[in-house]
């Protein structure tokens, strides 16, 4: 099976397949199927796939994107949570040896090793899937998101959209905004616009202790509008009470601590983290941030 010749061929494939399976697309499961073949070709071209690539696709649906990659890559893993769609994909590719269909919730199943992830994501799992992807090693991801969600990757410190996601994305990847996609490119059309984003995993590490830093960012950004010193002082006060630690753990005012958390850039957060770790002592510091994010 080659990729789609036209959008009308793709659209009629989607309608016929849904009718055959008796499936009424579920909004709750993010079942909006892409019916514009140019967009699928664009995504595949952006991924620059080769026969060395192992592809992960999250939310395979009816295989409209799968079909345009499977013959040109070493291996493909497709995760699909809807049993009927997973069975449909299984039947469609029963005689294709380089594809594995995984029935399950992509948030919960273990990801296989892969080089590239190309997916039109079900939008309700955008956040956990993005954090999960960022914890994995891969080269490139070409992902479709709800537009407002994708914009958070590019948010500047101090802006309304700046969040833990913006920080962690910036720490672990280089992101490029590729395209805005109209709702009419899907069947059924969602109520929102979508965006295609490329996420290239960084190979260099900006901070030695990434796991500790990630916990620190989680701790701070759960109070992102507050002043750094007040949040950290509270945390330390609680800790001091628990273990009767001497009061020299007081957070002194400095160039970071009087700022609101959401105004700190990635570099500033890294500096702040390293300063605190040195001042408080590595073991106690890791203990404090672990306890406050569990």
Question: Which candidate, 142, 174, 170, places its Cα nearest to that of 156?
Answer: 170
Q: How far is the CB of 76 from ligand SAM (least distance, A)?
A: 12
Q: What gap in Å lies between CA 40 and CA 34, rounded to an integer? A: 8
Please select the residue that binds ligand SAM; options are 29, 136, 224, 239, rule is CB under 6 A: 29
Q: Whole-angstrom Cα distance, residue 129 to residue 1? A: 29
What is the closest distance, in whole angstroms, from the C-beta atom of residue 52 to ligand SAM in the complex? 23
Q: Which is nearer to ligand SAM, 81 or 232 (CB)?
A: 81
Task: Classify the C-alpha dihedral 198-81-166-284 as positive or negative.
Answer: negative
194 binding ligand SAM? (CB under 6 A): no
Sign of the CA dihedral running 123, 127, 132, 136: positive
DSSP summary character for residue 93:
T
Whole-angstrom distance between the N-terminal and C-terminal Cα of the chain?
Answer: 48
Among 69, 70, 79, 171, indicate the residue that binds ligand SAM (CB under 6 A): 79
Q: Which of 10, 125, 141, 217 touches ligand SAM (CB under 6 A)?
A: 125
Select from 33, 114, 153, 162 the one that contacts ligand SAM (CB under 6 A): 33
Is residue 157 a contact residue for ligand SAM (CB under 6 A)? no
Give me the 81-110 binding string for ligand SAM, x by CB under 6 A, dash otherwise.
xx--x-------------------xxx---
Look-up: residue for tokens 């620059």? 48
DSSP one-letter code for 46:
H
Determine, following the binding rule CB under 6 A, whether residue 36 of this chain makes contact with ligand SAM: no
- Closest approach, Cβ 158 to ligand SAM, in A, equals 33
- Answer for which of 10, 18, 34, 99 binds ligand SAM (CB under 6 A) is 34
CA pair distance 125, 107, nearest whole angstrom: 7
Q: Which two tokens stand for residue 95?
A: 């005689």
181 binds ligand SAM, rule: CB under 6 A: no
The span from the CA of 35 to the CA of 108, in Å, is: 28
Q: Determine which residue in the list 4, 11, 30, 213 makes contact with ligand SAM, applying CB under 6 A.
A: 30
* Cβ(115)–Cβ(50) below 8 Å: no
List the interface residues with ligand SAM, window 228-257 (CB under 6 A).
Answer: none
**195 in Cβ contact with 150 (< 8 Å):** yes
Which of the residues 58 through 77 are near ligand SAM (CB under 6 A)? 58-61, 64-65
**Number of neighbouring beta carbons within 10 Å of residue 146:** 18
Instruction: Tell me the closest approach of the beta carbon of residue 141 to ligand SAM, in angstroms.
Output: 14
Q: Is 120 in the site for ligand SAM (CB under 6 A)?
A: yes
Contacts with ligand SAM by CB under 6 A lie at: 29-34, 58-61, 64-65, 79-82, 85, 105-107, 120, 122, 125
């Amino acid at each position: 099976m080659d990729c789609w010749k036209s959008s009308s061929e793709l659209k009629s494939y989607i309608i016929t397949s849904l009718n055959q399976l008796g499936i009424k697309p579920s909004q709750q499961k993010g079942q909006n199927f892409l019916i514009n073949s140019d967009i699928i070709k664009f995504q595949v071209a952006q991924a620059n796939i080769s026969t060395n690539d192992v592809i992960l696709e999250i939310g395979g649906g009816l295989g409209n994107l799968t079909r345009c990659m499977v013959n040109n890559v070493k291996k493909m893993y497709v995760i699909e949570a809807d049993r009927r769609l997973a069975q449909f994909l299984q039947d469609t590719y029963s005689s294709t040896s380089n594809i594995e269909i995984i029935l399950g919730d992509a948030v919960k199943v273990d990801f296989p090793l892969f080089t590239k992830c190309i997916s039109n994501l079900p939008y309700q799992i955008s956040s956990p899937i993005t954090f999960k992807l960022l914890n994995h090693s891969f080269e490139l991801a070409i992902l479709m998101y709800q537009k407002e969600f994708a914009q958070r990757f590019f948010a500047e410190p101090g802006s309304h959209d700046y969040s833990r996601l913006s920080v962690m994305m910036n720490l672990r990847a280089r992101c490029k905004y590729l395209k805005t996609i109209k709702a009419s490119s899907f069947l059924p059309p969602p109520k929102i616009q979508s965006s295609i984003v490329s996420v290239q995993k960084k190979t260099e590490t900006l901070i030695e202790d990434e796991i500790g830093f990630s916990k620190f960012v989680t701790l701070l950004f759960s109070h992102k509008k507050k002043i750094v010193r007040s949040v950290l002082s509270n945390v330390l006060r609680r800790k001091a009470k628990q273990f009767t630690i001497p009061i020299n753990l007081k957070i002194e005012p400095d160039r970071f601590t009087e700022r609101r958390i959401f105004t700190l850039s990635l570099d500033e957060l890294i500096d702040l983290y390293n300063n605190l770790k040195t001042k408080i002592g590595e073991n106690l510091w890791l203990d404090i941030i672990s306890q406050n994010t569990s």
